[in-house]
Amino acid sequence: MRSETTVIREKTAADDAACAALLRRVHARDGYPLFLPPEDVAGFLRPESERIAWVAEHDGGIVGHVALHCPPEDPTLSAASTATGLPPDRLALLARLFTAPEVRRAGLGRALLRHATGHAPLLGRRAVLDVGMSLPKAVALYESEGWSRAGELHIPLDEGPMLDLWVYVSP
Ligand SMILES: CC(C)(COP(=O)(O)OP(=O)(O)OC[C@H]1O[C@@H](n2cnc3c(N)ncnc32)[C@H](O)[C@@H]1OP(=O)(O)O)[C@@H](O)C(=O)NCCC(=O)NCCS
């Protein structure tokens, strides 16, 4: 995406601190991620399974983030594999999508979603994702882009309540 001053580009290590700061603001406002101790933000944004990630930059600041993850095993990939008939190694998890509160509803979330979804075939994979059932804005975005609900997961956490997720597959 390239609007007047907003660019989507590949994330580098130099972006990590700004991404973590943005995620903390998103967490405070939207409750995403659903369950995450603040000290785990950096690890949440740089898991080993991250294959590629992008940031949206506006006037020198980070205003959005999205990634593709390719973990060796994952309950969402298993559910999506059953739904699509594709093996898990032909799927990529679209993850960590968020935009800055001050730029919302201007098309950036959709642009980041399309960017990552469009990249998955370049990895020989189809994009799938999971989303918290308590995140209706994100669910509305995915469904407006033609993603299909393919299942649900209820994952007990070590601490806190159950993680209730919808699984979606890209068109
Ligand atoms: C979900 C999120 C990424 C959308 O970002 P955004 O920059 O506002 O997205 P867009 O402007 O491209 O909006 C795209 C669509 O999302 C849906 N949407 C976004 N905000 C919405 C809201 N407040 N109410 C209802 N639908 C909403 C709409 O379908 C919207 O399309 P429209 O504006 O044409 O009606 C953003 O709200 C966010 O970061 N939320 C917190 C993090 C999160 O929940 N991430 C998902 C993890 S699975």
pLDDT, one tens digit per residue, over 119-130 is 999 999 999 999
Q: Is residue 147 part of a domain?
A: yes
Number of structural domains (the chain) is 1
Query: Does residue 133 sit within a domain?
Result: yes
| Average pLDDT estimate for 46-56 | 97
* 116 close to 67: Cβ distance less than 8 angstroms: yes
User: Does residue 138's CB lie within 6 angstroms of at least one atom of ligand 1?
Assistant: yes
Ligand 1 pocket test: pick from 62, 137, 169 the residue with the most ligand atoms within 8 Å of its Cβ: 137
Q: What is residue 2's predicted lDDT score, i.e. its pLDDT?
A: 46
Give the separation between CA 91 and CA 81, rounded to whole angstroms.
Answer: 8
148-157, pLDDT tens digit by residue? 999 999 998 7
If pLDDT is split at 50, 70 and 90, which confidence band does 36 have? confident
Cβ distance 67 to 95 under 8 Å?
yes
Q: Is the CB of 163 under 6 A from ligand 1?
A: no
User: Across residues 11-26, what is the average pLDDT?
Assistant: 96
Which CATH number belongs to the domain containing residue 91 in this structure? Answer: 3.40.630.30
Spatial CB neighbours of 14, under 8 Å, sequence gap ≥ 6: none
By CB atoms closer than 10 A (0-12, 13-18, 19+), residue 55 is: buried
Tell me which residue range forms the domain holding 87: 6-169
Establish if 122 belongs to a structural domain: yes
- pLDDT of res. 26: 94
Residue 94 — very low, low, confident or very high, per pLDDT cuts 50/70/90? very high
CA of 96 to the centre of ligand 1 (A): 13
Residue 149 has, within 13 A of its CA and on its CB side, a CA count of 14
Q: Is residue 1 part of a domain?
A: no
Supply 83's token pair: 């739904």
- Nearest Cα neighbor of 169 from 77, 49, 33, 97 is 77
The torsion region of residue 149 among left (phi > 0), alpha (psi -120 to 50) and beta comes to beta
Minimum-distance ligand 1 atom for the alpha carbon of 111:
12
